[in-house]
Structure 1
């Protein structure tokens, strides 16, 4: 008989052990259509697929140290210096680098809520304190409340615009007023993952040029249709981006992802096709929901927010029964990725099944 005492197992930091878990959409592995992850419904173009194949043929070699070719291409089009650009495995990975560089124990990070559910996780990993601020009655960032949340411990403010999961965006004037009111020593982290779907998008290069404390994060996952390859970029002042770059691991962007991102960056017609597909579906879907008495906020993203309150999980279940996954947030609402008419028809059938209960909950 083994009489050795049971060995203790390694224990994570308390903050890590207490982190929330990123949620999964119900039924996403078994449904016919996936409208739960804000992916593009349009496959990569032939030019992008060819670039991926060429890069994959050399997968035995390391990629460039920092994604040099992609940095050069972004720098040229955006009109910024190369030392103002950092690329990596998705905008979320870059956001983690920035939080690591500029926040930490004893600091606070202000962010809207509900917003992207990864934010409290990333802030916790950085060992900073998340300060959530409720959205306003229009499901937008409450700019005055966010400014009122500033304290001497505030090291950063996170702005998700257009906001995930509500799809709402601040009018450019309100956004600029918010940025102007944030103290210059507080880093502003602007998550613009859905910028291409917003026809009133602010100029990222101009925002950074005017405000050295701003970093703008962008992704190739949405309008460029590369969610499965994980590529993103961030733009900021040279001084701020030097600190972000210092926290980045070498070879953080795979050669295949960089090749795909470069091809997508050049294939503007394909990007326009993705954006047009989304915007047309988005407005058609919102009209159909409105005809059913279900209010939805004005979305500037590739999804629509259904604020159905405590009917969220019932509506999600009804969608799964009809072969489409959506993302439910219990007690708040349901987010539906748009761009596939068949998936949207299935969601509308689920809304019809839930009937007046869903519509009344959204009033």
Structure 2
């Protein structure tokens, strides 16, 4: 048999690997992937069943019905909206369209671990900028990192995995200060869990270099179906749309997203469940002497440093998976009191104040 085999591009061969949570296949509760703990509503399940009955047919070319619904509610034109198989897929399209060899993409770190992977796939250079002492984006440091090679800046707000946000005036000041030729990718995956929601339509109208990324995976509870949308200026979104493959959003995902978009009461139920559990969990951790940053997402960040992996192992023993980042901390998805009780039992084992 021949021993030669295809060789990947060096940048692809060197990509970091998206981490897996320990024990996620064997535990009783999953608090490791920021999924909704609330199942889809009957209306969403019925929409999925209707769409699945016609799975032999192609979906719409570009997710046309979902685009129409989003543009109407958001108050933007349809040519300002692109939908696809999750916000990550849309982020990859934007990076492919506007970055590449010889360019740099600035992002906070630690932030969403998929960012360096997607930037590398686009063959651009990742430029990580450390969070500030409050675990937030360091606006001044990010602006200082701008160079003539900077093609894009990624802002994850609320930030994953810390859950922190920039105050609205600081977020706006950061966006205002970025040169117009640099693409700003504002990832608002967890927006519904943040009390201070920016006016996204006004933001993209005032700043033609901004793309806002949104997902149906979190507050809409559709992580398993992969649906998301992006909004921006017509000119920028036309370029993003040109990089998208046809039929990028399945008919089932579009039907579910449309139903979830219209089922505002169910979204409120998911958000209320998360926010109530989040605050109770943070108070319980505080009672144990453990500091946590103010989270505006559906998870809580435990900055336990070198105890992160030990805490993850203890959580698995107690029947719950969490996401550990070695030497830094542990991210815990909230929304299930039993899962949070299991994490607290593990904290009592591993993280007693020294």
The answer for the alignment partner of 1:223 in structure 2 is 219
How many residues align? The count is 349
The alpha-carbon deviation at position 115 of structure 1 amounts to 0.1
Provide, for residues 177-217 of structure 1, a one-character-per-residue CA deviation record: whole Å limited to 9, x for no partner: 00000000000000000000000111111110110000000
The answer for the alignment partner of 1:137 in structure 2 is 133
Is residue 2:40 matched to residue 1:40? no
The answer for the alignment partner of 2:113 in structure 1 is 117
Is residue 2:99 matched to residue 1:103? yes
Provide, for residues 327-359 of structure 1, a one-character-per-residue CA deviation record: whole Å limited to 9, x for no partner: 000000000000000000000000001xxxxxx
Provide, for residues 205-263 of structure 1, a one-character-per-residue CA deviation record: whole Å limited to 9, x for no partner: 11101100000000000000000000000000000000000000000000000000000
The alpha-carbon deviation at position 142 of structure 1 amounts to 0.2
Provide, for residues 262-302 of structure 1, a one-character-per-residue CA deviation record: whole Å limited to 9, x for no partner: 00000000000000000000000000000000000000000
SS in 2 for 1:86: strand
Question: Where does structure 1 differ by over 4 angstroms across 4 or more consecutive aligned residues?
Answer: none
Distance 2:199 2:328 in 1: 32
Provide, for residues 127-153 of structure 1, a one-character-per-residue CA deviation record: whole Å limited to 9, x for no partner: 000000000000000000000000000
The answer for the alignment partner of 2:262 in structure 1 is 266
Is residue 2:51 matched to residue 1:55? yes
Distance 1:182 1:88 in 2: 27
Distance 1:85 1:352 in 2: 47
Distance 1:205 1:129 in 2: 30
Cα RMSD of the aligned pairs, angstroms, is 0.7
Q: 1:257 aligns with which of 253, 257, 264?
A: 253
Distance 1:61 1:193 in 2: 30
SS in 2 for 1:24: coil
Q: Name structure 1 gaps, 5 residues minimum.
A: 354-362
Q: Name structure 2 gaps, 5 residues minimum.
A: none
The answer for the alignment partner of 2:27 in structure 1 is 31
